[in-house]
Amino acid sequence: MNAPHSLSDYAHLVQPDRVHSAVYTDPAVFEQEMARIFHRSWLCVGHEAELPNPGDFRATTLGRQPVIMVRGEDGQVRVFMNRCRHRGMALCEAETGNARFFTCWYHGWVYRNTGPLQDVPGPAGYGPDFHKEDFGLTPVPRQASYRGFVFASLAPTGPTLAQHLGPAAKYLDIYMDASPVGEIDVTAGVHRTHYRGNWKFVGMDGYHPHYTHRSVMDAWKRRSGGNMADTHHGDPFADESGNLTRDLGNGHVLMDFLPGRSAHLERYLGSIRKQPRGEDYIQAMHAAYGEQRGNELLAWAGDPHAGIYPNLQLIGVQIRLVRPVSVDETEVLMFPGLLKGVPDSINSLRLRQHESFYGPAGAGSPDDAELFERNQTGLQAAVEPWVYLGRGLNRERTEPDGTRVGLIGDETTQRGQLRAWAKLMSEA
Amino acid sequence: MAITRDAVEAFLFHEADLLDDMQVEAWLALWAPECCYWVPCNGRDDSADAQRQVSIIYDNRAGLEDRVYRLMSSAAHSQRPRSRMRRVVGNLRFEVREGEVHTRSNFLLAELRRGRQEIWSGVSQHRLLPAGDGFQIRAKTVLLTQSDEAIDNLTFLL
| Size (chain B), residues | 158
Distance CA A414, CA A391 (A): 10
Q: What pLDDT was estimated at residue B133?
A: 87
Chain A contact for B47, CB < 8 A?
Answer: no
Across the interface, whether the CB atoms of B41 and A189 are under 8 A apart is answered yes
Distance CA A310, CA A422 (A): 12
Give the domain ranges of chain A.
43-153, 167-426
Q: What pLDDT was estimated at residue B75?
A: 94
Chain A contact for B45, CB < 8 A?
Answer: no
Sign of CA dihedral B114, B120, B125, B128: positive
Across the interface, whether the CB atoms of B56 and A191 are under 8 A apart is answered yes
Question: Using DSSP, how many helices (H) and how many strands (E) does chain B show?
Answer: 3, 6
Provide the phi-psi class of A46: left if phi over 0, else alpha when psi is between -120 and 50, else beta.
left
Q: What pLDDT was estimated at residue A227?
A: 46
Please compute Rg for chain A using Cα positions. 23
Residues 6 or more apart from B51 whose CB is under 8 A from it? Answer: A344, A347, A348, A351
DSSP string, A116-175: -EEE-SSGGGS-TT--GGGGSPPBPSEEEEETTEEEEESSSSS--HHHHHGGGHHHHHHH
Pure H helices in A34-122: none
Strand order in the sheet with A14-15: A14-15, A18-20, A386-388
Across the interface, whether the CB atoms of B66 and A227 are under 8 A apart is answered yes
Distance CA A363, CA A383 (A): 34
Chain B residues whose CB is inside 8 A of the A223 CB are: 62, 66
Distance CA A17, CA A390 (A): 4
Burial class (CB in 10 A: 0-12, 13-18, 19+), A134: exposed
What stretches in chain A show pLDDT beneath 50?
1-2, 4, 226-227
End-to-end alpha carbon distance in chain A: 21
DSSP string, A317-368: TEEEEEEEEETTEEEEEEEEPEETTS-HHHHHHHHHHHHHHSSTTSSSHHHH
Give the domain ranges of chain B.
5-144
Q: What is the pLDDT of residues A277-296, one digit of tens each?
A: 999 999 999 999 999 999 99
Neighbouring C-alpha atoms within 13 Å toward the C-beta of A401: 9
Would you tell me how many other CB atoms lie within 10 Å of the CB of residue B95? 10
Distance CA A219, CA B70 (A): 7
Q: Which helix (H) or strand (E) holds B139?
A: strand B134-144
Mutate one of A215, A328, A351 to test the B interface: name it (highest B CB count within 10 A). A215
Across the interface, whether the CB atoms of B51 and A347 are under 8 A apart is answered yes
Q: What pLDDT was estimated at residue A2?
A: 47
Q: What is the pLDDT of residues A202-243, one digit of tens each?
A: 999 999 999 999 999 888 777 655 445 555 667 899 999 999
Across the interface, whether the CB atoms of A356 and B55 are under 8 A apart is answered no
Distance CA A87, CA A422 (A): 37
Q: Which helix (H) or strand (E) holds B15?
A: helix B5-20
Across the interface, whether the CB atoms of B41 and A331 are under 8 A apart is answered no
Specify the fold of A167-426.
Answer: Naphthalene 1,2-dioxygenase Alpha Subunit; Chain A, domain 1 (3.90.380)
Q: What is the pLDDT of residues A120-165, one digit of tens each?
A: 999 999 999 999 999 999 999 999 999 999 999 999 999 999 999 9
Q: How far is CA A313 from the centre of its chain?
A: 3
Give the rounded percent of residues in chain A with a pLDDT score beyond 70.
96
Maximum CA extent, chain B: 46
Residues 6 or more apart from A144 whose CB is under 8 A from it? Answer: A42, A151, A160, A161
Q: Is the ipTM of this complex over 0.90?
A: yes
| C-beta of residue A352 within 8 angstroms of C-beta of residue A341 | no
Give the rounded percent of residues in chain A with a pLDDT score beyond 90.
91
Residues 6 or more apart from A94 whose CB is under 8 A from it? Answer: A59
Residue among B53, B75, B153 whose CB faces A369 most closely: B153
What CATH code is assigned to B5-144? 3.10.450.50
Report field, pTM of the whole predicted structure over 0.90 = yes
| C-beta of residue A408 within 8 angstroms of C-beta of residue A208 | no
Chain A residues within 8 Å of chain B (Cβ atoms): 95, 187-196, 211-212, 214-216, 218-219, 222-223, 225-227, 331, 336, 338, 344, 347-348, 351-352, 354-356, 359-361, 363, 366-367, 369-371
Give the strand pairing for B116-131 and B100-113. antiparallel
- Angle between helix A291-300 and A265-273 (nearest 10): 80
Q: Which CATH superfamily includes the segment(s) A43-153?
A: Rieske [2Fe-2S] iron-sulphur domain (2.102.10.10)
Distance CA A255, CA A204 (A): 6
Would you tell me how many other CB atoms lie within 10 Å of the CB of residue A376? 21
Q: What pLDDT was estimated at residue A307?
A: 98
Residues 6 or more apart from B134 whose CB is under 8 A from it? Answer: B1, B7, B10, B11, B14
